[in-house]
Structure 1
Amino acid sequence: MPIIELRTEIKASKEIVFDLSRSIDLHKISTEHTNETAIAGKTSGLIGIDESVTWRAKHFGIYQLLTSKITEFERPNLFVDEMVKGAFKGFRHEHHFEDLNGGTLMTDYFDYESPFGILGKLADKLFLLKYMTDLLAERNRIVKDFAETDKWKKIVA
């Protein structure tokens, strides 16, 4: 099971970064290239504990559905979303937030398991691990961009 760990330093308060990271609307912006749309559950605003969202997105030329649920929530330090239904055998995404030099250190741990046994493991090595890392890095780039400018006010004001 691959585990992706990303650390992003952001010059903004932990509370702003936390809320941007759980924003359905900002997630849509960060995944425009996959035509990702929230179609069920929490479909806009800020997602919280025990809430779920179902996303429809195009990956590798195929539209897929993925439902995740917020299973842990400690504002503004941590939240966890876990897959309930979708293409993966399973995933757990931990979002950690720490104060750092007047800003925030945002750390993601994305632990996933591909389906299809040995074929899934091969896909991880050939392309999936890089693809997932790039998706998360782009999401973090967007969170950073919004948090470090006045754009965040359009999302969490």
Structure 2
Amino acid sequence: MKTYHLEFEQNLPIPLAEAWDFFSSPLNLATITPKEMKFKVTSNYTKDTKMYAGMIITYHVSPVFGIKMNWMTEITHVKEHDYFVDNQVFGPYALWHHQHHFIEIPGGVKMHDILDYAIPYSVLGRIANKVLVGKEVKKIFSYRTKAIDELFGKYKG
């Protein structure tokens, strides 16, 4: 199985606690996901639900061609105000391991995402990643950067 590794960084002009509160709530993920993906959390969590290791989150998502899929992730590690990790339990990927790191910097917080993923179907999966999936994943994170800047403003350093 071929795995792909991506890293993304973004600085935000908000306190670490505010960044943590927003990004550690699964319900806020839809806010920073492209609308055409029709992303919806189906787990029964509220805005007040605190993230914890072992937390299972279910979603409906339409990642390509409007095809609706179920997706389930587990939060496997949490160190409050530092990082959390989500792993796909089942869904569109053969592997999805996403680390979310938060680092306090002067005037804000640096978010550092580390993503390792794989596509099923061996050679066909590699072709699909090259032609479509890899570009879509990068497009999602690019959209997130813009959406986060709109929500919190641009970091001026």
Q: Which runs of 5+ in 2 are unaligned?
A: none
Q: How many residues align?
A: 148
User: Alpha-carbon deviation of 1:147?
Assistant: 3.4
**Matched residue, 1:154:** none
Which amino acid in the other structure matches residue 12 of structure 1?
Answer: I
Q: Which runs of 5+ in 1 are unaligned?
A: 150-157
The structure 1 segments of at least 4 consecutive aligned residues displaced by more than 4 Å after TM superposition are none
Q: Given that residues 66 and 83 in structure 1 are in contact (C-alpha distance below 8 angstroms), is that contact kept between their aligned partners in structure 2?
A: yes
Which amino acid in the other structure matches residue 135 of structure 1?
Answer: I
Deviates more, 1:22-31 or 1:60-69: 22-31
Distance 2:50 2:141 in 1: 18
**Could you tell me which of 37, 40, 55 is aligned with 1:37?**
40
Which amino acid in the other structure matches residue 7 of structure 1?
Answer: E
Which amino acid in the other structure matches residue 121 of structure 1?
Answer: R
**Could you tell me which of 1, 5, 9 is aligned with 1:7?**
9
**Matched residue, 2:30:** 28
| Structure 1 position 103 matched with structure 2 position 108 | yes
Query: Cα distance 1:132–1:62, how it changes in 2: closer, same or farther (>3 A)?
Result: same
Give the 3-state SS of the residue equivalent to 1:96 in structure 2: strand
Identical-residue share of aligned pairs (%) = 21
TM-score (normalizing by structure 2) = 0.85
| Structure 1 position 132 matched with structure 2 position 137 | yes
Distance 2:70 2:92 in 1: 8
Distance 2:100 2:19 in 1: 11
1:56-95 mapped onto 2 (5 Å cutoff): 56-60=60-64, 61-95=66-100
Q: Deviations over 1:65-123 (max 9, x none)?
A: 11001101011010000001111111100000111222111000111011111111111
